[in-house]
Amino acid sequence: MINYNKTREIGINILRRWILIFLVGEIVFFSIVGTNYFSLKNLQNILVASTTVLLLATGETFVIITGGIDLSIGFMVGFSSVVSAKVMVDLWTAGFSQPVAIMIGILAALLLGLIPGFINGFLVAKLRVPPFIATFGMYGIAYGFAEIICNNVPIHGLPTSLGSLGHGYLFYWLPGKLFSFLSWPENLSREELKHLVSIVPNVTIITFIFIGIFAFILAKTKFGQHTYAIGGNINAAERAGVNVKAHLIKVYMISSFFASLAGVMYVLRFITGRAPAGSARLLDAVVAVVIGGASLSGGKGTIMGTVIGALIIGVLEIGLVNLSIPTYNLHIAVGCILIFAVLVDQFSPELIHKEEEIG
Amino acid sequence: MEPILEVKNITKRFGGLTAVDNLDMQIYPGEVVGILGDNGAGKSTLIKVISGVYQADAGQIFFEGRRIKISNPMEALKIGIETIYQDLALAENMNVYSNVFLGREKLKKFLNFIDILDHDYMLKESKKVLNRLDINIPSLKNKISTLSGGERQAVAISRSIYWNAKLLIMDEPTAALGVAEQKKVLNLVNTLSSQGVSIIIISHQMHDVFSVATRLLIMRRGKKVAERITKKTNADEVVGLIVGSLPGDYIEAIEEKR
């Protein structure tokens, strides 16, 4: 005899975790069909390739939970990449040492990147401009400024040590011979280089440190709680004494901070600054957030879900490359997953969302 | 006995419209007062002045004998005036105890230096206040969106009570409820009143107001036209006062009639 309740419970648990199951399924699928897909090297490649989407989507999650949307992040990546590249090149040619030029370049981009977020937040919270319009305006403005700063050409001639930072790993391991932390082992023979195992890309570490911090903030702190409250019922939050306007400004600043960070990561990875860098990733970021369980009407979503959403896209993208399938097919697949995600959310029984600690 | 709330000569204008006109009112501890009036009589404006949403253009407010100025809703909350609006102001995407503590979350230290939410404390305290008011909600971890209208009303009331409301203002508390739930909410009003909380109820459902309020205040066109002890009046008289077919007790009202 079939136990109805038990079956139902299993069904609910599957639906609840469908994105995780989907992600695992994707990896299994490509591992079977692809060549060398399931290898440490390739999995790390997926993480690195997902950097921009992961970062953009994390910031976007905060905005979407409040019921808004931030479209400016697409070109904020380019803006920030151009700013940090330009500062690095100028300082280095002016005679500063490489580490100083790199540090100041990164800081300049991250600090300057907070300004568009502040303006977005101010427009949305204080002047009641719809988020779509405010951030879409900023999308164009950021792109224009980026092009002005770089004179329409990608910025080259960056400090040479950027490469070891952007393409470096946390550990290098030569089985039985050598274990090195953070620094590239010198004097290896060609044969040894073949067997050298590099573990955890720097870019990925930085990305997940920031994602981790903000996941904690969203899930565990008063700030996170108020973010959900604003998305659930902005009037209720206001009447309960939440400073909604200040909170929204901070949320848009978080989003632009993550976009700037993505721009900096772009410079580390590609050793160049380009105005259109990452602009194609805007849509992927929003899709990742929605796949991750957030609703565009606000009040729902988690960073964990968003990360899984971003990885679903990354795994698929590298998978298609692995199978030599043209990447424009990616858009078709991502589109289908997005619609599927929304459908699951729409038709899943209320029970799935019933008991939750947060929000 | 000293009134917990006394308003004197309160006037509130919106441009050329006088929404509340030179109104006096006293509320005593543990008392349930119903404010009745037609649409546009000024009931909502009056309670918004008391709860700090609007500032009066003239008049004084005394709370527990002291003259006070309420310039925003937060100040009203701080001195113990809580308002439950028709829309209840609950975040439906959040669970019961998070709503009870919304805006006033209980925090604890994580690793000795980061403030994080203390879910256990908030859950425990919310349970206590719901028990005190005899409210049954299956799990306080349930989201508001899974609760019935009456349960939501109960959550909103519990929130006010937890934060030591001395005066609770309820705007149409039974409007969206089924019959059985209306009864529960009215019972809850009686429970609160017996625990010493003063309550102002605004409602179109005259039957509700009659069943819980000890005193009635009738408004028409921004003015107080009459005050009645519930037991010493009846629905016919009150309706007459509301629509203006009875003159009311105050000179201005009579003059207006002429």
- Identify the band that residue A357 occupies on the pLDDT scale cut at 50, 70 and 90: very low
Q: Say how far apart CA A276 and CA A139 lie, in whole Å.
A: 11
Q: Does the predicted TM-score (pTM) go above 0.90? A: no
Report CB contact under 8 Å: A221, B114.
Answer: yes
Higher pLDDT, A2 or A249: A249
Are B96 and B141 in contact by the 8 Å Cβ rule? The answer is yes
**What average pLDDT does chain A have?**
89
For the record, the structure tokens of A20 come out as 């995780």
Which residues of chain B are within 8 Å of residue A298 when distances are taken between CB atoms? 93
- Identify the band that residue B175 occupies on the pLDDT scale cut at 50, 70 and 90: confident
Does pLDDT of A267 surpass 90?
A: yes
Q: Which residue of B has its CA nearest to A298?
A: B93
Q: Say how far apart CA A293 and CA A303 lie, in whole Å.
A: 10
- pLDDT recorded at residue B256: 53
Does pLDDT of A356 surpass 60?
A: no
Which residues of chain A are within 8 Å of residue B116 when distances are taken between CB atoms? 220-221
- Identify the band that residue A109 occupies on the pLDDT scale cut at 50, 70 and 90: very high
Average pLDDT over residues A209-236: 96
Q: Which residue of B has its CA nearest to A294?
A: B93
- pLDDT recorded at residue A319: 92
What pLDDT, in 10s, does the model give residues A282-324?
A: 989 999 999 999 988 899 999 999 999 999 999 999 999 989 9
Does pLDDT of B210 surpass 50?
A: yes
- pLDDT recorded at residue A105: 96
For the record, the structure tokens of A183 come out as 């620094």
Cβ–Cβ contacts within 10 Å for residue B230, how many?
18
Average pLDDT over residues B22-41: 92
When mean pLDDT is compared across A139-148, A167-176, A279-288, the lowest value belongs to A167-176
- pLDDT recorded at residue A359: 41
Does pLDDT of B253 surpass 80?
A: no
For residue B142, give the nearest of A228, A242, A354 by CB distance. Answer: A354
Q: Which among A131, A162, A154 is positioned nearest to A63, based on CA atoms? A: A131
Amino acid letter for position A69: I
- pLDDT recorded at residue A354: 47
What pLDDT, in 10s, does the model give residues B68-87?
A: 988 888 888 889 999 888 88
Give A37-89 as a 3 state SS string.
CCCHHHHHHHHHHCHHHHHHHHHHHHHHHCCCCCCCHHHHHHHHHHHHHHHHH
For residue A236, give the nearest of B89, B95, B117 by CB distance. Answer: B89
Q: Is A222 on the interface with B (CB under 8 A)?
A: yes
For residue B92, give the nearest of A232, A354, A356 by CB distance. Answer: A232
Q: Number of helices and strands (H, E) in chain A? A: 17, 3
Q: Which residues lie across from B220 on neighbouring strands?
A: B223
- pLDDT recorded at residue A348: 65
- Identify the band that residue B125 occupies on the pLDDT scale cut at 50, 70 and 90: very high
The count of CB pairs under 8 A between chains A and B is 87
- Identify the band that residue A355 occupies on the pLDDT scale cut at 50, 70 and 90: very low
- Identify the band that residue B258 occupies on the pLDDT scale cut at 50, 70 and 90: very low
Report CB contact under 8 Å: A222, B114.
Answer: no
Average pLDDT over residues B190-198: 90
Min distance B101 CA to chain A CA atoms (Å): 9
Report CB contact under 8 Å: A359, B93.
Answer: yes
Does pLDDT of A185 surpass 50?
A: yes
- pLDDT recorded at residue B252: 53
Q: Which residues, in sequence order, are CB contacts of A273 under 8 Å at separation 6+?
A: A78, A81, A82, A83, A84, A85, A86, A150, A154, A155, A158, A263, A266, A267
Does pLDDT of A358 surpass 50?
A: no
For residue A356, give the nearest of B91, B114, B141 by CB distance. Answer: B141
Higher pLDDT, A45 or A188: A45
Report CB contact under 8 Å: B107, A237.
Answer: no
- Identify the band that residue B199 occupies on the pLDDT scale cut at 50, 70 and 90: very high
Task: Give me the percent of chain B exceeding a pLDDT of 90.
Answer: 43
Average pLDDT over residues A51-78: 96
- pLDDT recorded at residue B255: 52
For the record, the structure tokens of A313 come out as 């896209």
Report CB contact under 8 Å: B98, A242.
Answer: no
Q: Which residue of A has its CA nearest to B83?
A: A239
For residue B146, give the nearest of A237, A350, A358 by CB distance. Answer: A350
